[in-house]
A and B are shown apart, each in its own frame.
Chain A
Amino acid sequence: MKLQVRPDRKLIRAASRSTRYALLSFTAPVAPPRAGRRPANVALVLDRSGSMGGQKIRLAREAVQRALQMLHPEDRFTLVVYDHEVAVVTESTPASGEAKRAALARLAAIDARGSTDLAGGWLRGCEQVAEHLSAEAVSRCLLVTDGLANVGLTDHDEIARHARALRDRGVTTSTFGVGADFDDKLLQRMADEGGGHFYYIETAAQITDLLTSELGEALEVVARDAGIAVQAPGGVDVEPLTRLECCATDGGARVRLGDVVSGQEVEVVIALKFPTGREGEQVTVHFTVTDRDAVLAGAPADSVWTFAGDAENDAQSRDRVVDRAVALLHAARAREEAVDFNREGRFEEARRVLEAVQRRIREYAGNDPELRNLADGLRADFEVLSAPMTLAAQKSAHFAASTSARMRDLEGKAKRRPR
């Protein structure tokens, strides 16, 4: 498996600090179908608060049924439902035919009733998964809700902290928000900190597709807790532009990719801020893919930058492929920020953040049609994102920006080689 690295420009400024971008990409190996996939240890945590009544809960049940069909007896599952009370419908059990049938029968009688102890339901699901944590399984808690956490633990920061702590101890969290009223900031944070993915389910009819897609990905994980280790000399700051977690390490940083699935096309942009130096001197940065089980291990990819004067720097050629990836990410991040401002009614600030990024992209867009289109697209958003929006529109806008910033596809699924 080969890691490719493309710098946007190869020269760096001798007399002042420069920021350069590196586009890293690799395609995960395709796992042989069926044979030897890792067992899954999953919790399905469903909101059964009053607002889920009618079609939503019916479709959620259907989604659970489809999801369970994907599991084999070597997998474990648990079913938890919550409103202001938490009920474990089925404690973690191997996914035999009988266990699945019994679980679904119980679920059929669960109707929508009260308010929402989201954190309570989620934590009980994590507890069930944690009780059967194994070294080889893919462990994940999938949380479905249509509302806000309004009972029990509701502090976002605290919930996010727990999501991260559980991720670090082997339990990943993915979240699904249904409809227009759920708290997408909370669900996004839980997924980001929890090492999983967030999905916006606009209409209940999509629940099955997205729940089974996420579970399907969990069943096709080829590399757990993957990351890109960046080794750079002192003085070089490393920061991913793609919305991924990054931690400092001895000699550089590690960008966390989460679990990587069979055939996944991974693309990450990393920003490097170089110190000053002497003209002609070179700086080499090493990039290596790592994961818990050394499945993706391969030779490191290196990139070399050379210090040069300002005139040379200004005149150097640019790799447009990298420029486009960079611009897309800047635009996505700006849109995320703008939606956040919009939620708080800070319309002027929403507009300003979009204008600023649009200006910057135009500065290096030149004649490139894709870059110019991107800038135009941002300009079109000035009006939309700086005026009052409905909750549903905010969610759509937030989700579109967030999947783009995390390099997932429009629905929030992993980008994969066409099969």
Chain B
Amino acid sequence: MAYSPIKIGRRQLTELPQNAAVETVSQGSQQPPQRLLRIVGQEGFPVNATQASLAAIHDDIQGLASGYYLVPVTFGDKSDRNGYYRVYAAQNSEQDWNGETVGDGWQIDLERVGTDQEIDFESRVTGPAIVSNSFGWVASEGLFSPPAGTYALNPGGTALPRPCADGPDQLFYIDGAGGDGTRWGCSVGNYGNGRCRFLDDQGIERSGLNFAPANLTSWTLGNGLVQIVPGTAGNTLTVQHWTGAPAAGGAPSWQSKNWDLTGTIGIVGVTNLAGWSSVNLLRNDYEMVAMRLVRDAPGAGRVLIDLTLRRGSRFVEVYVNADFAATWKLVKHFAEPGTLGGLGSAALTATVEDSAGSQYTIGSAHTFTADTANGGISATGKTFDAYIGAVVSVPVLNANPDFETNVANWTPTGGTFAQSNTRAHKGSFSALMTPNGVATQVFAESEQIPVVANASYQASAWVWPTSTVTSNIGVSVNWYDATHTYISTTTGTTSATGGQWNFLTSHLYTAPVNAAYAEVIPVIGGTPAAGQLVWWDEVKLRAYAYPFGSLTPAQSGNLSTDLLGQYAGRRSEYVQPVRR
């Protein structure tokens, strides 16, 4: 007798082949007739499960039936039955022989929906183009993201990729596809790509809603792009982003940002909202998961913290809802300064990218007070909405920003610009700028880079001067039109402390209306002396925001303003199967 694996939705189970899978068709008054497939299996300790996981299996099987969930089913020994089903009924029983052996036998009735050759999926999307907000938003990006591997999307759109921990890039759309009634096809094997999921303390991906997590401080809410776990460094939550190919050139990984969520509650004062008393799921679908943390506020009432995650999204939505008014604050656990930007300045984004080349970005649809020094936002009331996302690996537009091989693509003026291994902020090399001592400005021009008119760009660099420069050092941008004719220069000079690395950023430069190309230019002015050596590293020009409504081939959908626009355009989605 051979056991056979079977995967029902998120759950891997073991089917007992000696009990034939019985399939019946019920005519009766049911139209179309129900086609039920009854399967039987058993999980057991110590055979194929742990004692702790058996409880999860028991609850999840019951949960699938109580929610009448649509699930992809993959059989180990009869792949011709693979397809989409609804869990129509389930029963299971647990037998414990004094802890030496524990068995959970189950029987599941699956109502056949169809194979992936006959079934389309229809996304039922509800909501306006822009959610209610305090900023007068006039534009949004309605993000839509079916499972990776989806085919025949109708209506179609421009697919934008996001590296995903599940393997294939998770494609998403911010134009065209995604309206109510969008239809798509998907094989059973791909249906779980990029899915939203809740993992308990054992790392088991849970099904349904009817279970109690065994450990309130050990769980994961994720979608392959972003995941949230309880904080372990004294912080409330840790939000992790999948970097794909990080700027550092290392392996793809989860990059963590520690966050504190606090409330100023009555006489208690500022209170970290960790230490919740319960965790439960509000919704547990592949396209969206919502969970609720309940935090006791002694003397004041209760605080509900809802965390919502959508398939394909790069941010987690946070909603605090309490019986009482308080000042709520979402802030970096370790201070990381941020800069306000986006529509209505409703997004706060890290001023400096981290070691993986990412920047946190948070925001809200309602008025808040920004803590730019530490990286946080706060608001007062009974409710508080926010999102926590990351700008991940935005492409650097200019060639050779790190000078690891040479200084190709850089043209100096007023001095020399040569590769140096004396010091480096990243890697082993930087570029040493040596003034000639007579030029009023010493600079190096990059190649001409294609840009989009009216778009916003961020120029940045790390600089190590031998002596403190009180002004006249920075990163400028030259703009050129389509015929490569010079238009103008946008300058952003500042100061830099001698004898250490300083991060210089131009913040946001807007390309002129007729701009087609740009040069990024590290520069030091004020007729620097020949001995005022300056080492430069990671000199970059990157896109910050494209004008809404002008989706270009270069638009990534991943900039901080994009994420804000996707927060502004978020809508409710339910996926329903329909026959082709």
Instruction: Answer yes or no: do A and B interact.
Output: no
Interface residues of B (CB under 8 A from A): none
Interface residues of A (CB under 8 A from B): none
